[in-house]
A and B are shown apart, each in its own frame.
Chain A
Amino acid sequence: MNIIETKNLCYSYDDGKEALNSVSISFEKGITTAVLGGNGAGKSTLFLTLNGILNPTSGEVFYNGEKVQYKKAYINELRKKIGIVFQNPDDQLFSASVYQDISFGATNLKLPKDEIISRVDEAMKKVGILHLRDKPTHALSFGQKKRVAVAGILVMRPEVIILDEPTAGLDPMGVSELMHLLEKICKEDGVTVILSTHDIDGISNYANYIYVMNDGEVLTHGTPHQVFSDVELLRSNNLRLPRISHLLEILSKEDGAEVDFSASTISAARRELLKLLKNR
């Protein structure tokens, strides 16, 4: 079932720049979907229309099969179900207190105080930031701020969590920790995760489904395997294969080895290489 669907979504900014051009995307419930694309591909704009921050010029958005109305009351309800984690945590964290910042979303849901407190504790525990509780926001590192931002969304218990470039600016450890966290949220809590990224090498590890965007349009979509099969399409649009697939591609094309180069994770590539070794 698709939790969010867009049909022929268009958005152009005030200066006439077309950021989205007839985008039709379906986000399946309960899985992690990644939107892959370079800078200026329209990923952020897409996300802002899904959450009702931007009002699309034309086209429709459906939430759980119901057409989204861009009216204040409707959008406010929608935002309780769709949480956005912004790329720069400093844009999102408005409070100097970590604890108070996280509690903000839950307070806006008008929950009883006990419920808010338990939700805040739970979110902090899940994200692994209980030790940052009494720290001021400005004393945190970038990665820590990112976690606080995620916790600030989790307290609202959204059905969908949208992350704009969640891995940008994080160190390798930070990336893998955040991705494990998102996997946990997706699997254990059944939250639908939608994220944008240009991390081609890592994407197959965490995304169940990929949409590739360029210049405000959807180029292709499918499972990682399907997406990375069409090398020509990717290359002609300033994208590339993951490094590991590239290696397999060279082995296949230059050295005549029989490998499937759409294998884009270490484990998939390993399987291909083992197959190759056995056939010798």
Chain B
Amino acid sequence: MLIDKLAYRSRLRYISPAVKSFYAFVCMIICIALDCHIINAIVFFTMFSLIVIGGGTKLKTVINIFLLPLSFIILGAAAVCFTAGNTSNDMLLSIGVDGLYLGIGKQSFDVCMHLITRCIAAVSCMYFLTLTTPMLALFSVLRKSIVPDFVVEIMELIYRYIFILYDISNQIYIAQSARLGYASIKTGYKSMGILIANLFARAYRQAEMSYVALESRGYEGEINTIDIEYKSSKAYHIIGVVYIIFIGIIWIHCR
């Protein structure tokens, strides 16, 4: 919910979503494919500053959002670090038990570091997209893409109703806890069960009502609306291409 709000507040939200998603994906693929520390770092800082400086999202919020996947990435990568072997020669740190050595291998540490930077860089590309582009804008990109229209239609409806049902569940939760529904673990489980059951009933009712409302506005099986137009400019493409060339040059130097 927070990310959704931030995207609508971002200064970069009016830039064509097609342009943003294209370059975000290209950068992500570059990071994953080239697997170079320097390029990963460059992409990360570019995306980070685009979000913070370009989009005007608060630095503290952005750091918090980045910390979330970071913990997963570090925990996941840490597992790769550890190896077992007969010698401690190629290990940075090891414990030996009966000639068997457990520890952090030089090579696996290297793999681990690559994994971390690659992940962070790739995540930053995706964050750039999600923190500067509202879902609505992404839907318009999807509509023009190869994704079938009815899939996008369903996505749009789901996106809308998530918020309605989230509100309803929130109201039920508040009403329950006001009457000590979550006072102990036992009652908490029970209340949660009631909440979920009620939410299903409400969702069903909501669907019925929405269908009635759609019908009265001339719905005949297809949701047709006017697409929102976004301004696309050649300048963005020039910046994007120059940036990718710049990354390419650095990669050639790094090799």
- Judge whether A136 and B8 touch: CB under 8 Å: yes
B159 interface hit (Cβ, 8 Å) = yes
- Judge whether A86 and B226 touch: CB under 8 Å: no
- Judge whether B216 and A103 touch: CB under 8 Å: no
Assembly CA distance A53 to B206 (angstroms) = 16
A153 interface hit (Cβ, 8 Å) = yes
**Of A48, A106, A108, A137, which is in contact with the most chain B CB atoms at under 10 Å from its CB?**
A108
Which segment of A20-28, A109-117, A169-177, A241-249 sits at the interface? A109-117
A window 95-136: CB within 8 A of B? 95-97, 99-101, 103-109, 113, 116-117, 120, 135-136
Given contacts A94-B157, A139-B8, contact A105 B217 (CB under 8 A): yes
A84 interface hit (Cβ, 8 Å) = yes
CB<8 Å pairs between A and B, sample of 13: A76-B218, A79-B215, A84-B213, A94-B160, A95-B225, A96-B159, A96-B163, A106-B226, A108-B224, A113-B226, A136-B135, A152-B217, A156-B217
A254 interface hit (Cβ, 8 Å) = no
Assembly CA distance A136 to B134 (angstroms) = 9
- Judge whether B134 and A91 touch: CB under 8 Å: no
A216 interface hit (Cβ, 8 Å) = no
A37 interface hit (Cβ, 8 Å) = no
Q: Chain B: how many interface residues by the 8 Å CB criterion?
A: 30
Assembly CA distance A44 to B136 (angstroms) = 33
B window 188-237: CB within 8 A of A? 206, 209-210, 212-220, 223-228
- Judge whether B225 and A88 touch: CB under 8 Å: no
B156 interface hit (Cβ, 8 Å) = yes
Assembly CA distance A99 to B219 (angstroms) = 17
Question: Hey, which chain B residues are within 8 Å of A103, CB to CB?
Answer: 225-226
- Judge whether A86 and B224 touch: CB under 8 Å: no
Assembly CA distance A131 to B218 (angstroms) = 27
- Judge whether B156 and A96 touch: CB under 8 Å: yes
Assembly CA distance A136 to B133 (angstroms) = 12
- Judge whether B216 and A84 touch: CB under 8 Å: yes
Question: Hey, which chain B residues are within 8 Å of A106, CB to CB?
Answer: 226
Assembly CA distance A92 to B160 (angstroms) = 12
- Judge whether A104 and B217 touch: CB under 8 Å: yes
Question: Hey, which chain A residues are within 8 Å of B75, CB to CB?
Answer: none
- Judge whether A107 and B226 touch: CB under 8 Å: yes
- Judge whether B225 and A104 touch: CB under 8 Å: yes
Assembly CA distance A136 to B224 (angstroms) = 18
B79 interface hit (Cβ, 8 Å) = no
B93 interface hit (Cβ, 8 Å) = no
Known: A93-B160, A100-B227. 17 other contacts (CB 8 A): A51-B216, A76-B218, A84-B213, A90-B206, A94-B210, A94-B223, A96-B135, A96-B163, A97-B136, A97-B228, A99-B228, A100-B136, A100-B225, A104-B224, A137-B163, A138-B164, A156-B218
Assembly CA distance A262 to B180 (angstroms) = 49
**Of A91, A101, A120, which is in contact with the most chain B CB atoms at under 10 Å from its CB?**
A91
**Of B4, B135, B217, which is in contact with the most chain A CB atoms at under 10 Å from its CB?**
B217
Assembly CA distance A95 to B161 (angstroms) = 9
Nearest 7 A/B pairs, CB to CB: A108-B218, A138-B163, A100-B225, A103-B226, A91-B209, A107-B224, A92-B213
Question: Hey, which chain B residues are within 8 Å of A53, CB to CB?
Answer: 212, 215-216
Given contacts A80-B218, A108-B220, contact A94 B8 (CB under 8 A): no
Assembly CA distance A184 to B224 (angstroms) = 29
A224 interface hit (Cβ, 8 Å) = no
Question: Hey, which chain B residues are within 8 Å of A56, CB to CB?
Answer: none
Question: Hey, which chain A residues are within 8 Å of B206, CB to CB?
Answer: 90-91
Question: Hey, which chain A residues are within 8 Å of B160, CB to CB?
Answer: 93-96, 137-138
A109, closest chain B residue (CB): B218
- Judge whether A76 and B220 touch: CB under 8 Å: yes
Nearest-Cβ distance from residue B212 to partner chain A, whole angstroms: 5
Question: Hey, which chain A residues are within 8 Å of B134, CB to CB?
Answer: 136
A100, closest chain B residue (CB): B225
Question: Hey, which chain A residues are within 8 Å of B215, CB to CB?
Answer: 53, 79
